[in-house]
Structure 1
Amino acid sequence: MTATDTRTQSTTTPDTRRESRLGWIAVMVWAAGIAAVFATGWYLRRAGLATEDALPPLHAQVRGRPLTWQMAPAAAAAALLVAVLPRAASRLRWRTLLLVSWAGAAVWAVALAAADGWDALAAPLNAPTEYPAGLAQVRPGPLEWLRTFTERLGGYTTHVRGHPPLPTLTLWLLEKAGLPGTGWAAAFVIASGTSAVAAIAVALRCAAGERAARAAVPFLVLAPLALWIATAMDAFFLAVGAWGTALIALAARRAGPGAVVAAAAGGLLLGALPYLSYGLLPLFAVPLAVLLLTRPRPRILAGVAAGLMVVPAAFTLLGFWWPDGVRATLDTYLISRGSAQRSYTYFLFGDLAVLGLLAGPAVAYALPRTAGVLWRAARTRALSPAAAVALPACAALLGMVVLDVSGVTKGEVERIWVPFAAWLVAAASLRAPGSRWWLAAQAATALAVQALILSPW
């Protein structure tokens, strides 16, 4: 199968009319499902059955006084981006569009977070439970810290002991590079996280064609998940996965030694994912989908495989054995009074409702179309650009469902879902490419959440 059809498939047919009706039904289910989950969480909280979170299923609380005038800069940024992004996506040169999309995503994420004041950009990383609080234990000797990481896990801060060592080591390296403090860490997280918009666009261009990638860019920039780009380390995880996937997609479409180098670099980044978070293993469904779409040559696959082995080999040689880290983290998880105490049944549905907030109503509207194009592609064995956008999106959704059903993620998924949900957002372009109304609905969702809910990230 090859992505040879360059049309957006917007012609009105019985299939598209049916998908439109189903899309509106999906939006109603999206809204009703989110409302029902929050109402159930409120009831459980009031009954004393859910005490870990103030506003389940979010690890957040309702603002005592909703933000009003403080939201003006974010609302202005949203209005500007809704107005200019569709035209920019269709008219700018490709490389210019990538830079503009990165800048637009950064402006959107910062504008939302700054509604709580400029200090709010670094405030999440100042918490005593976060990675920077654990840097003091790394500074005397990072090699010794890494070698004894598993056996001393119980003495580390919450996020350090809940993850492999690489996030903490990344911040240590940033500090050693002369950029100490949570201000620089926040800048690094935001800059890397928002760059994922460009990375996903590059991957989609290689897999589905430039027209499909351009259609996805406005939705990627204005995704409600920008609320948790500034500032949760999971935004950095998003960037690593997105750029790793983009590099292998580029390698598959190019020839010469540079293609093998790009493939190895992509594999290197993807190989780092399990050492950033144990829960990122299902994210490999996305680069696998991209590889299936781009069908790289054997030497490209060999380059990817070689790159994949670098980070695991390095950590193993330096004394950190990944399976031991998983077991130790699970032990601390089970004996803590943290998320292990949360209700599996409630968060099985609650985590999906949070995904709905991250993705927004435009994605809900596009889901029937997404399923439809994949079904037609499987039936006809003819891969359209729409199907090439839908496949990575559904791969990301599958990864989240696996984590949700496994019970590994019970709560706090507003940040955990970020590396996955960005790929799902691209599917919004399948139903309403260039639609300012749906872009406005995406922005309004993020503005409403920011105005009404106070999140620690």
Structure 2
Amino acid sequence: MRMVPLAPQSAVRRPVAALTVAGLLVTAAVVVGLLVNAHHPGLLFASAAPLFGDWKPHFGPGTPAALLIAFLVVAKGPELAQHRFALPIAYVTATLWTFSLAMIDGWDRFVTRLTTVDEYLHEVPGVTDVPAMLRGFSDRILDFQPDSWTTHVSGHPPGALLTFVALDRIGLGGGAAASIFCVLVGSLAVVAIPKAVNTNAVLPFLVLFPGAIWVGASADGMFMGVAAVGIYLLTRWPLLGGVVLGWCVFLSYGLVLLAPLAIVAAGRRIGWAVAGALAVVVAFALSGFWWLDGYELVKVRYYQGIGDIRPYWYWVWANLAALALVIGPAGLRGLRKDKWVVAAAIAILAADLSGLSKAETERIWLPFAVWLLAGTARLDKRWLTAQAVTALAVNHLVLTNW
């Protein structure tokens, strides 16, 4: 009779301990958030803290589709991950999963998330001269001026606004096109990461990534896809990957923290990656925008608004509770001494301690968080089920702002 070796007790205890700690962290963040919101309304500026949204159990037209996709991925995902066309199948499925989650909140909400007064599309009609916009971009970052940029435009380098201006110029203006674009680009992470880490076994877990809730639709979801493609390119063509990551730094100041992942991806060829990134920096500088000037002004702008109100003492640990919901139980179970996971964790820790990531990290940290799923390759279908349950529970209980 063949004896099956038992796993060492320490190997069993580690994931149990990690999940227990994460569960306690999420519970504490929710309870403390409820108490603070009850006694100090407006302090956290997040009704469903640690998530930015409102407690509102609801269903929508996307509910049946999301349930069906989750069932199919759990049942067939690991098998299809070995299919000849695994990557295109995964991309299409991830796109449908993200879209179905968004439709739980409804089409009207999906197409208006990027059109509010705080968002990028609000500024697109006013950009009639791109070179002039770049030259004067920094002058409009600080608040309380007649021509101050709207919140999201002021909080990011001009690359993000330029992206939506370009969409408008080619006839894809408006909220519907912008939101669909973010989903399509964001879903590229699902195929870029397996190529970078060199295993398709992570595909089903990336497809059912709970963070997809915030990919549909936020610009940060789009940033996630661009960043993942850039990091993958570093593993093959570091100069080209450097150019893409250089562009990322002009989508969001925080994406400079992709550096640990870039170092892992490029290895000894990091010099080529740096050269590619510097080419983008020089191009923007010659166009009139200097990244460091913008960053210094953004730090001031951050504390001109709700960044000054939200308490660091709560968000410095509640951010991590939000992260646990973004990566799901499988992401937590897969946390290990993997170079990709460690690099992503370093980036997240730096962002958290900076004080410039107080709340809304469920979308802001997407470009880093998705890489924590690189450690899920050896997990079984039970963990896929846990991912689906997490995403569906969060999306149906909380009406998220993105």
TM-score (norm. length: structure 1): 0.83
2:370 corresponds to which residue? 422
User: Would you say 1:396 and 2:344 are equivalent positions?
Assistant: yes
Matches within 5 A, 1:336-351: 336=305, 338-351=306-319
Q: Deviations over 1:285-326 (max 9, x none)?
A: 11211233xx54xxxx55423311221011100111111101
- Tell me if the contact between 2:266 and 2:273 (Cα under 8 Å) persists in the aligned partners: no
- Tell me if the contact between 1:52 and 1:339 (Cα under 8 Å) persists in the aligned partners: no
* Shift in Å, 1:399: 0.5
1:436 corresponds to which residue? 381
2:26 corresponds to which residue? 34
Whole-Å Cα distance in 1 between the matches of residues 352 and 44 of structure 2? 20
Distance 1:278 1:68, change over 3 A: closer
Distance 1:36 1:173, change over 3 A: same
- Tell me if the contact between 1:219 and 1:426 (Cα under 8 Å) persists in the aligned partners: no
- Tell me if the contact between 1:122 and 1:183 (Cα under 8 Å) persists in the aligned partners: yes
2:80 corresponds to which residue? 88
Whole-Å Cα distance in 2 between the matches of residues 177 and 414 of structure 1? 31
Whole-Å Cα distance in 2 between the matches of residues 69 and 132 of structure 1? 26
- Tell me if the contact between 2:44 and 2:311 (Cα under 8 Å) persists in the aligned partners: no
Cα root mean square deviation, aligned: 1.7
Match of 2:184 among 183, 186, 191: 191
Match of 1:146 among 108, 112, 134: 134
One-letter code aligned to 2:89: V
Whole-Å Cα distance in 1 between the matches of residues 5 and 283 of structure 2? 54
1:226 corresponds to which residue? 212
One-letter code aligned to 1:145: M
User: Would you say 1:290 and 2:265 are equivalent positions?
Assistant: yes
Q: 3-state SS of the aligned residue for 1:201?
A: helix
2:88 corresponds to which residue? 99
One-letter code aligned to 1:278: Y
Whole-Å Cα distance in 2 between the matches of residues 14 and 440 of structure 1? 23
Whole-Å Cα distance in 2 between the matches of residues 291 and 72 of structure 1? 42
One-letter code aligned to 1:144: A
Percent identity, aligned pairs only? Answer: 34
1:384 corresponds to which residue? none
* Shift in Å, 1:451: 0.4
- Tell me if the contact between 2:329 and 2:386 (Cα under 8 Å) persists in the aligned partners: yes
* Shift in Å, 1:13: 6.4
Matches within 5 A, 1:223-302: 223-250=209-236, 262-292=237-267, 295-296=268-269, 301-302=270-271
Matches within 5 A, 1:26-175: 26-48=18-40, 50-63=43-56, 65-67=57-59, 71-90=63-82, 92-93=83-84, 96-138=85-127, 140-153=128-141, 154=143, 155-175=148-168
Distance 1:302 1:364, change over 3 A: closer
Higher relative contact order (CA 8 A, sep 6+): 1
Q: Deviations over 1:204-229 (max 9, x none)?
A: 11xxxxxxx12111111111001011
Whole-Å Cα distance in 2 between the matches of residues 141 and 223 of structure 1? 39
TM-score (norm. length: structure 2): 0.94
Q: 3-state SS of the aligned residue for 2:359?
A: coil
Worse-matched range after superposition: 116-125 or 233-242: 116-125
Distance 1:448 1:14, change over 3 A: closer
Q: 3-state SS of the aligned residue for 2:50?
A: coil
* Shift in Å, 1:169: 0.4
Whole-Å Cα distance in 1 between the matches of residues 5 and 185 of structure 2? 40
User: Would you say 1:325 and 2:313 are equivalent positions?
Assistant: no
Whole-Å Cα distance in 2 between the matches of residues 335 and 449 of structure 1? 31
1:386 corresponds to which residue? none
- Tell me if the contact between 2:131 and 2:287 (Cα under 8 Å) persists in the aligned partners: yes
Match of 2:193 among 187, 200, 215: 200
Q: Deviations over 1:356-390 (max 9, x none)?
A: 000101122233xx1xxx3xxxxxxxxxxxxxxx2
* Shift in Å, 1:131: 0.5
Q: Deviations over 1:181-200 (max 9, x none)?
A: 12111121111100111011
- Tell me if the contact between 2:140 and 2:154 (Cα under 8 Å) persists in the aligned partners: no
Q: Deviations over 1:130-187 (max 9, x none)?
A: 100011221x211111101111223111100111110000111111122221211112
One-letter code aligned to 2:179: A
* Shift in Å, 1:264: 2.1
Whole-Å Cα distance in 2 between the matches of residues 165 and 70 of structure 1? 34
Whole-Å Cα distance in 2 between the matches of residues 107 and 440 of structure 1? 17
- Tell me if the contact between 1:127 and 1:133 (Cα under 8 Å) persists in the aligned partners: yes
Q: 3-state SS of the aligned residue for 2:104?
A: helix
Q: Deviations over 1:270-294 (max 9, x none)?
A: 11122111111112211211233xx
- Tell me if the contact between 2:66 and 2:100 (Cα under 8 Å) persists in the aligned partners: yes
Distance 1:115 1:321, change over 3 A: same
Greater fraction helix: 1
Where structure 2 has 5 or more consecutive residues not aligned to the other structure, the ranges are: none
Whole-Å Cα distance in 2 between the matches of residues 305 and 323 of structure 1? 17
- Tell me if the contact between 1:162 and 1:329 (Cα under 8 Å) persists in the aligned partners: yes
* Shift in Å, 1:12: 5.2
Whole-Å Cα distance in 2 between the matches of residues 426 and 122 of structure 1? 31
